[in-house]
């Protein structure tokens, strides 16, 4: 599954176009490497998102969207200062 679609269906980012813009601005890393919107994610991948002043690290645990379970595990969430 593409990273922009994963972020949308896992409900981390509300719209796929916003997820694509975040990736185009070089704010998404998968396993420590810069990711473009078309980069594929796999189960077990570590994703780091730089959203505004927040840095969120998650681990992919599922690629199948489900209404009752999360598709990721939150590893850390930090607020950066200016």
CATH classification at residue 54:
3.10.290.10
Predicted local confidence at residue 68, as pLDDT: 84
- What is the per-residue pLDDT across 4-57, written as a single tens digit (0 to 9) for each? 999 999 999 999 999 999 999 999 999 999 999 999 999 999 999 999 899 999
Distances 58 to 51, 77, 82 between C-alpha atoms, Å: 13, 9, 23
Structure tokens at 36: 């473009």
One-character DSSP codes across 18-51: HHHHHHHTT-EEETTEE--TT-B--TT-EEEEEE
The DSSP 8-state label assigned to residue 13 in this structure reads S
Distances 20 to 11, 54, 61, 78 between C-alpha atoms, Å: 14, 18, 21, 22
- By residue range, what is the domain housing residue 34? 3-79
pTM over 0.85? The answer is yes
As for how many domains the chain has, the answer is 1
């Amino acid at each position: 599954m593409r990273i922009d679609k994963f972020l949308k269906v896992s409900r981390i980012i509300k719209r796929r176009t916003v997820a694509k813009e975040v990736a185009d601005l070089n704010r998404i890393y998968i396993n420590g490497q810069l990711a473009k919107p078309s980069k594929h994610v796999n189960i077990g991948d570590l994703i780091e998102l730089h959203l505004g002043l927040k840095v969120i690290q998650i681990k992919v645990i599922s690629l199948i969207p489900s209404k009752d379970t999360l598709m990721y595990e939150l590893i850390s969430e930090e607020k950066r200062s200016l």
